[in-house]
Amino acid sequence: MARPIPEHLHTVTPRLVVRDGSAAIDFYRRAFGAEEIGDRFTGPAGELIHAEIRIGDSVVMISEEDVEPAGAIMATYWPDVDAVWERAVAAGAEVIYPLEDQFYGDRAGRIRDPSGHQWMLAQHIEDVTHEEMARRAAEQFG
């Protein structure tokens, strides 16, 4: 009997819908050290129907769409977020929110990749109680 969830995937596996699958995969390689796994599945016109990449310990599926790509914000955690941030920006990512220490205990920022998808890059740097988080948020946002 087949496993209901393939062994290399989790319950939730993100799929990014992009205009140019090869360019997106190349960007994710340069920006996040992605590794393509398995074979690409393409349609009769050469369009990318399905590809999988591994970023760290997570799998992301990639498909092409010739109309507006579907949106997503990918939340990612890294042992050295500053190094990944620098790589992503050097690879062409657009900064939406700069990488900074956040009131909730993460060093985090958000970028947009060339396909229009948003990525939150983070590193957990401090355990913060709910009460302390609320105090810091009130202090920061008034």
Predicted confidence (pLDDT) at residue 95 exceeds the cutoff of 80: yes
Flag whether 26 is in a domain.
yes
Q: What is the CATH number of the domain that holds 110?
A: 3.10.180.10
Flag whether 2 is in a domain.
no
Average pLDDT over residues 93-102: 96
Flag whether 88 is in a domain.
yes
Range of the domain at 120: 15-141
Crossing angle for the helix pair 21-32 and 81-90, to the nearest 10 degrees = 140
Average pLDDT over residues 72-82: 87
Flag whether 75 is in a domain.
yes
Q: Are 88 and 31 in contact (CB under 8 A)?
A: yes
Instruction: Output the six-digit token pair for 72.
Output: 């997503």
Flag whether 94 is in a domain.
yes
- Number of domains forming the structure of the chain: 1
Q: For the segment 41-71, what is each residue's pLDDT rounded down to a tens digit?
A: 988 888 898 999 999 999 999 988 866 555 6
Q: Are 45 and 88 in contact (CB under 8 A)?
A: no
Predicted confidence (pLDDT) at residue 5 exceeds the cutoff of 80: no
Band of residue 138 on the pLDDT scale cut at 50, 70, 90: confident
Q: For the segment 116-134, what is each residue's pLDDT rounded down to a tens digit?
A: 888 989 999 988 888 898 8
Owner of token pair 């999988």 = 52
Q: For the segment 6-18, what is each residue's pLDDT rounded down to a tens digit?
A: 788 877 789 898 9
Flag whether 132 is in a domain.
yes
The pLDDT of residue 66 is: 66
Q: Report how far apart the first and last C-alpha atoms of the chain are (Å, whole number).
A: 56
Name the percent of the chain lying above pLDDT 90. 53
Parallel, antiparallel, or unpaired: how do β-strands 48-55 and 94-101 relate? Answer: unpaired
Flag whether 118 is in a domain.
yes
Flag whether 9 is in a domain.
no
Band of residue 81 on the pLDDT scale cut at 50, 70, 90: very high
